[in-house]
């Protein structure tokens, strides 16, 4: 096998400028031994974990030998190495069972992205202008330790702030321990489409502050209130696997599926029955169904147990929520409510799900409590075909500490940003950008320049997930606790370092070392998670006052702002964090077939009345500002609603996403769900007007506007 230990090296034109500080690359042989397990042309399979969403699906990665340009000791050369070629679902994994979603399939591009950051960077221009210079890791570490030592010397440890995405497992543990030992506040997690309301409701109803695992494979009747469980919410692969089984996996048996929502999601598109409701009235509809079930006599109020007591009037039969009353509020006819009640209580097992816009209202918590009570009424909690709460490893927090206005950076002297992009994904009114600008020193561990990391003074780019130890213990997706870890699949392509290792090294280098419990990140990975819990009965939830229905509140006067505005997670980009991947930019949206575009969905008749045709540029204005985006008239949306996928509209996020489309988050009003304080992202009203420019640059895979006459195309 001598041939394979032969190492090629070459000078690459165009790179000498960036490498000037590292000497002359032509004269350096890269001593990098290829992996001996690899034989040219023969694939080996290695385990890993999909990092793109919190579902944490297990991967098997196809690895083959190939030639790659790599950087070692600051020198660039070409070497033979094992390269990840394709990601597949791990058939052994109880969550994704050998399958992956479309995003997981594209996760490869994170590693090989041409705009991935390959070296430590130091700000060279004024903050936010995107000018950085390359520095060595030694310089970078010295710089970071210096800043932290200065904080400690001034007794100012509290002014270190850490902002992450929700992190479960080793990475979160290292960050939290670092903060703790240094004397800083616990890291704040930032997630636009967070699940805080659902977790709070589940804690109140069932004593579990966590997302449910849906046992769809066994269900006979599924009613979902706004949850896009087949597209983007919770554990989509696991839920699709179960859904396929529910529909056609049991001979002679086919589960029915009803979706309640006011804009047809990809999930809703699969429903046998699609039930549009007025925004924010999902919980009332659930109570109308519960009222009818109780009246039909198949279940009594007390069957719902504790979850029922949390809803005002439940124990006395929900007298205020007769189908007739509920019809007035929701727009769903009393007859339909009664029929749904019969089906829901008559089919066993039946399950209700709530997520999405239904909980992103000012009364979101109430809506979730109402649906929880409905589930409890028919006995679908912790039973086959219903919802389960996956046992959680003892040392993993599930709460997300949502970062809100003013919390980010208030009083911070040094800010660590780990994978979160709140400058993009928060309403303008939160003034996150201003808050972050006020922090004297910002360190980012991201792999890419985005709207938040561009503000950094120091960037310490992480390995990609394929290049580092990975570990995950997903909150939901399988009935049993799942915990997985995997070593690196391939060697790093760039001069990056695993963030866990960087923090551990810094902790040793500080003037007052932190004595972290791990030497290397690998140690933390191997230790997590401890004490896997077995299944145990649900704990007794704390008593709480019964919640009363309150009308949802919307920002913007209904007369002036005639439309409800619904931003929704895009199948391709989720909250926008995946807009940098070309595979996902060119993925046709399931509902519109749009690629490389932004668009706003508007009811067809409404569009006709306003003279808006497919592709026409529309101006959307809320009390917070306006954006312009091409129209996509659709029958699957209520006449007084417009909806827009989140994800495009990046100012600064690689060559593929920058300057493309518009960001609906920008114009959201800072309305909150009062109990949890999380953003009610479906509670903004807007007005729309046709903009002067005719061409909105909407590209559809099923025929682009430039090549097809727009008239009649929308059918």
Partner 1 sequence: MTHRWGMAVDLDRCTGCEACVTACRTENNVRIAGPEESAKGRSIAWIRVERYYEGDFPDVRVKFRPVMCQQCDAAPCEPVCPTYASHHSEEGLNAQIYNRCIGTRYCANACPYNVRFFNFGNPVWDRPLDLPLNPDVSVREVGVVEKCTFCTQRISAGKDQAKAEGRELRDGEIKPACVQSCPTSALVFGDLNDPESAVSMLSRSSRGTKLMDDLGTQPKVTYLKKEY
Q: How many CA atoms lie within 13 A of 189 on its CB side?
A: 21
Residue 183 makes contact with partner 1 by CB under 8 A: no
Q: From the CB of 288, what's the least distance to partner 1, in Å?
A: 17
What's the chain's length in residues?
715
Distance CA 482, CA 143 (A): 39
Residue 584 makes contact with partner 1 by CB under 8 A: yes
Q: Shortest CA distance to 696 belongs to which of 607, 574, 578, 624?
A: 607
Residue 481 makes contact with ligand SF4 by CB under 6 A: no
Q: Which helix (H) or strand (E) holds 358?
A: none
Please say whether the beta carbons of 228 and 355 come within 8 A. Answer: yes
Number of residues forming the site for ligand SF4 (CB under 6 A)? 13
Residue 279 makes contact with ligand SF4 by CB under 6 A: no
Q: Which is nearer to ligand SF4, 423 or 484 (CB)?
A: 484
Count CB atoms within 10 A of the CB of residue 580. 25
Select from 25, 77, 82, 104 the one that contacts ligand SF4 (CB under 6 A). Answer: 104
* Per-position DSSP letters for 363-397, written without gaps between them: THHHHHHHHHHHHHHTT-BSSTTSEE-----TT--
Select from 58, 280, 636, 664 the one that contacts partner 1 (CB under 8 A). Answer: 636
Contacts to ligand SF4 from residues 31-90, by CB under 6 A: 50, 52-53, 55-57
Q: Which is nearer to partner 1, 240 or 678 (CB)?
A: 240
Select from 108, 381, 439, 547 the one that contacts partner 1 (CB under 8 A). Answer: 108
Q: From the CB of 144, what's the least distance to ligand SF4, in Å?
A: 31
Q: From the CB of 97, what's the least distance to ligand SF4, in Å?
A: 11
Which entry of partner 1, ligand SF4, none binds 428, CB below 5 to 8 A by partner kind? Answer: none
Beta strands at 684-690 and 563-569: parallel, antiparallel or unpaired: antiparallel
3-state helix, strand, coil in the chain (%, to 5): 30, 20, 50
Q: From the CB of 60, what's the least distance to ligand SF4, in Å?
A: 12
Residue in the shown chain whose Cβ atom is closest to ligand SF4: 104
Q: Which is nearer to ligand SF4, 107 or 412 (CB)?
A: 107
Contacts to partner 1 from residues 202-241, by CB under 8 A: 230-231, 236-237, 240-241
Contacts to partner 1 from residues 458-517, by CB under 8 A: 493
Select from 79, 93, 105, 648 the one that contacts partner 1 (CB under 8 A). Answer: 105
Which entry of partner 1, ligand SF4, none binds 561, CB below 5 to 8 A by partner kind? Answer: none
Q: Shortest CA distance to 668 belongs to which of 516, 586, 588, 556?
A: 556
Q: From the CB of 45, what's the least distance to partner 1, in Å?
A: 13
Our CA dihedral for 69, 74, 75, 78, rounded to 10 degrees, sits at -20
Please say whether the beta carbons of 345 and 378 come within 8 A. Answer: yes
Contacts to partner 1 from residues 597-616, by CB under 8 A: 603-605
Which entry of ligand SF4, partner 1, none binds 52, CB below 5 to 8 A by partner kind? Answer: ligand SF4
- CB under 8 Å to 156, separation ≥6 — which residues? 413
Residue 48 makes contact with partner 1 by CB under 8 A: no
Work out the burial of residue 369: count CB atoms within 10 Å of its CB; fewer than 13 is exposed, 13-18 middle, 19 or more buried: buried
Q: Which residues of the chain form contacts with ligand SF4 (CB under 6 A)? A: 50, 52-53, 55-57, 96, 100-101, 103-104, 236-237
């Amino acid at each position: 096998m001598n041939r394979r230990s032969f190492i090629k090296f070459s000078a690459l034109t165009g790179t000498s400028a960036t490498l000037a500080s590292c000497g002359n690359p032509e004269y350096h042989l890269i001593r990098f031994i290829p992996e001996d397990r690899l034989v040219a042309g023969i694939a080996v399979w290695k385990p890993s974990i999909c990092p793109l969403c919190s579902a944490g699906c297990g991967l098997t990665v196809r690895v083959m030998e190939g030639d790659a340009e790599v950087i070692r000791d600051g020198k660039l050369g070409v070497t033979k190495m094992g390269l990840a070629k394709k990601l597949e679902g791990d058939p052994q994994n109880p969550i994704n069972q050998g399958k992956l979603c479309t995003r997981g399939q594209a996760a490869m591009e994170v590693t090989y992205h041409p705009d991935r950051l390959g070296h430590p960077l130091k700000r060279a221009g004024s903050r936010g202008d995107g000018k950085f210079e390359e520095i060595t890791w030694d310089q970078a570490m010295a710089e970071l330790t210096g800043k932290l030592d200065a904080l400690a010397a001034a007794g100012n440890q509290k002014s270190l702030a850490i902002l992450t995405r929700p992190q479960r497992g080793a990475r979160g543990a290292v960050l939290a321990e670092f903060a703790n030992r240094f004397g800083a506040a616990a890291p704040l997690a930032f997630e636009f489409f967070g699940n805080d309301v659902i977790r709070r409701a589940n804690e109140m109803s069932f004593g579990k502050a966590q997302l449910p695992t849906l046992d769809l494979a066994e269900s006979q009747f599924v009613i979902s209130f706004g949850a896009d469980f087949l597209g983007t919410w919770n554990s989509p692969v696991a839920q699709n696997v179960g859904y396929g089984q529910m529909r056609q996996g049991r001979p002679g048996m086919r589960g029915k599926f009803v979706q309640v929502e006011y804009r047809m999601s990809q999930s809703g598109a699969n429903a046998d029955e699609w039930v549009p409701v007025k925004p924010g009235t999902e919980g009332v509809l659930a109570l109308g169904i519960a009222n009818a079930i109780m009246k039909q006599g198949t279940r009594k109020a007390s069957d719902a147990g504790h979850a029922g007591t949390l809803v005002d009037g439940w124990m006395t039969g929900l007298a205020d929520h007769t189908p007739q009353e509920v019809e007035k509020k929701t727009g769903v006819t009393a007859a339909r409510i009664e029929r749904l009640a019969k089906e829901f209580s008559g089919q066993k097992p039946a399950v209700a799900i709530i997520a999405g816009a239904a909980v992103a209202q000012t009364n979101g918590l109430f809506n979730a409590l109402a649906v929880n009570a409905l589930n409890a009424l028919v006995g679908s909690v912790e039973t086959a075909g219903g919802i389960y709460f996956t046992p959680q490893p003892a040392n993993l927090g599930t709460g997300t500490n949502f970062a809100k206005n003013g919390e980010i950076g208030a009083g911070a002297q040094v800010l660590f940003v780990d994978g979160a992009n709140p400058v993009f994904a928060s309403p303008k009114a939160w003034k996150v950008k201003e808050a972050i600008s006020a922090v004297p020193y910002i360190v980012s561990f991201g792999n890419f320049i985005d709207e938040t990391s561009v503000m950094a003074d120091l960037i310490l780019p992480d390995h990609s997930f394929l290049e580092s130890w990975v570990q995950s213990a997903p909150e939901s997706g399988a009935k049993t606790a799942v915990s997985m870890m995997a070593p690196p699949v391939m060697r790093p392509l760039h001069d990056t370092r695993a963030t866990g290792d960087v923090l551990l090294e810094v902790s040793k280098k500080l003037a007052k070392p932190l004595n972290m419990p791990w030497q290397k990140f690998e140690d933390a990975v191997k230790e997590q998670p401890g004490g896997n819990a077995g299944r145990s009965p649900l704990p007794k939830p704390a008593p709480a006052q019964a919640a009363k229905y309150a009308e949802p509140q919307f920002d913007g006067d209904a007369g002036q702002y005639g439309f409800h505005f619904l931003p929704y997670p895009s199948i391709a980009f989720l909250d926008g964090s995946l807009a940098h991947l070309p595979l996902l930019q060119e993925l046709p949206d399931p509902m519109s077939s749009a690629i490389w575009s932004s668009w706003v969905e508007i009811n067809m008749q409404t569009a006709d009345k306003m003279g808006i045709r497919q592709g026409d540029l529309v101006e959307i204005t809320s009390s917070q500002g306006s954006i312009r985006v091409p129209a996509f008239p659709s029958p699957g949306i209520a006449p007084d609603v417009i909806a827009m996928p989140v994800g495009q509209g990046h100012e600064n996020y690689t060559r593929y996403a920058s300057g493309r489309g518009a960001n609906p988050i920008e114009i959201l009003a800072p309305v909150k769900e009062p109990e949890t304080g999380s953003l009610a992202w479906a509670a903004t009203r807007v007005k729309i007007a046709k903009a002067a420019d005719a061409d909105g640059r909407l590209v559809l895979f099923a025929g682009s506007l430039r090549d097809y006459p727009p008239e009649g195309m929308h059918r």
